[in-house]
Amino acid sequence: MATRTRRSQRRTEALTRERIVEAAVELLDTAGEGGLTFRALTERLATGPGAIYWHVANKEELLDAATGAVVAAALAAEPAERTAEPTEPAEPTERAEPTERAEPTELAEPAKSAEPAEPARSAELIESTESTESARPTESPDSPQDKIRAIAFGLFDAIEEHPWLPTQLALQLSRSPWGSVTPQIFESIGRQVRALGVPEGHWFTAASALVHYILGATGQNAANNASARTLAPDVDRAEFLDAASKAWKELDPDDYPFIRAVAAQMREHDDREQFLAGIDLVLTGITALHLPSEQDRTPPPAT
């Protein structure tokens, strides 16, 4: 009898709110919101409903707590250092040596005579885009820009790993912006907006633009993934995008000139790279609109 009492005490002591929330996240991941019931939770935790109700009042509070725990972990992601590749800055100096000879000027003419204009132009566009990316100044992992990227990717990965999360985030933002989740997200982004040197009168607008892009893009990506899971088992992402690309190319050229032009880019795009490009576009807009010249400004340190 004494042994059974001691075991019961150990089980009760081990049942914390954190352990309940962790089990709830596991249930949500495997069974969705409909599968999160207090009966399923008691079975998973090998306890009674009274012990759970001691820590969590109802399912709504449990969903809020699970969402808050996942978001908190996502926002704690550390920024990865972005360094320029060492080979690219060295290339111009190596190519400069042959230009001192008279021979390269004669070798340049065959390139002019070969006139597949369209492929060459496409190659130049791709090369110029890549050179623009590599020309981006190296940023410290402690820069506000990289901290914003880390937050964005933390939420991107969390939403990919937890398909139920987009719905709960939307509810949190619209139904209870005073709850724990919305302030966490806005505070994390807002601190970095402030650290960028954005004037205080524009903090909310700049932070909102970033938050809405991040949650909107990640939510759409999650919807795409959910839709992909409903496709036939033998259809993969590449095949699906290839079929969509071909359909775009077959559209009327007078009505859809843009769609036809970007069909190949849509087929070949990478979701994470596209997401990061969008973050950089928003950051570029914020800095162009709201910051003084780079030489004069001294932003406050990020906290």
Q: Is 296 exposed, middle or buried (0-12, 13-18, 19+ CB in 10 A)?
A: exposed
Report the first-to-last Cα separation within the chain, whole angstroms: 55
Q: What average pLDDT does the segment 59-74 reach?
A: 94
The pLDDT assigned to 222 comes to 85
- 146-178 per-position pLDDT tens digit: 999 999 999 999 999 999 999 999 988 888 888
- 98-129 per-position pLDDT tens digit: 444 444 444 444 444 444 343 344 444 344 44
- 212-225 per-position pLDDT tens digit: 999 999 988 888 87
Residue 179 and residue 186 in contact, taking contact as beta carbons nearer than 8 Å: no
What is the widest separation between alpha-carbon atoms in the chain? Answer: 99
The pLDDT assigned to 3 comes to 46
Q: State CA 185 to chain mean position distance.
A: 13
pLDDT(279) > 60: yes
Q: What average pLDDT does the segment 195-221 reach?
A: 94
The residue type at 73: A
Q: What is the fold, at CATH topology level, of the domain defined by 2-56?
A: Arc Repressor Mutant, subunit A (1.10.10)
Closest C-alpha to 275, from 220, 217, 223: 217
CB-CB neighbours of 36 under 10 Å: 21
Domain extent listing, the chain = 2-56, 144-290
For the domain spanning 144-290, the CATH number is 1.10.357.10
- pTM for this prediction: 0.70
Confidence of residue 296 (pLDDT cuts 50, 70, 90): low
Reduced 3-state DSSP string for the chain? CHHHHHHHHHHHHHCCHHHHHHHHHHHHHHHCHHHCCHHHHHHHHCCCHHHHHHHCCCHHHHHHHHHHHHHHHHHCCCCCCECCCCHHHHHHHHHHCHHHCCHHHHHHHHHHHCCCHHHHHHHHHHHHHHHHHHHCCCECCCCHHHHHHHHHHHHHHHHHHCCCHHHHHHHHHHHCCCCCHHHHHHHHHHHHHHHHCCCHHHHHHHHHHHHHHHHHHHHHHHHHHHHHHCCCCCCCHHHHHHHHHHHHHCCCCCCCHHHHHCHHHHHHCCHHHHHHHHHHHHHHHHHHHHCCCCCCCCCCCCC
pLDDT(233) > 90: no
Q: Which of 84-88, 152-156, 199-203 has the lowest mean pLDDT?
A: 84-88
Name the percent of the chain lying above pLDDT 90: 54
Confidence of residue 81 (pLDDT cuts 50, 70, 90): low
pLDDT(199) > 50: yes
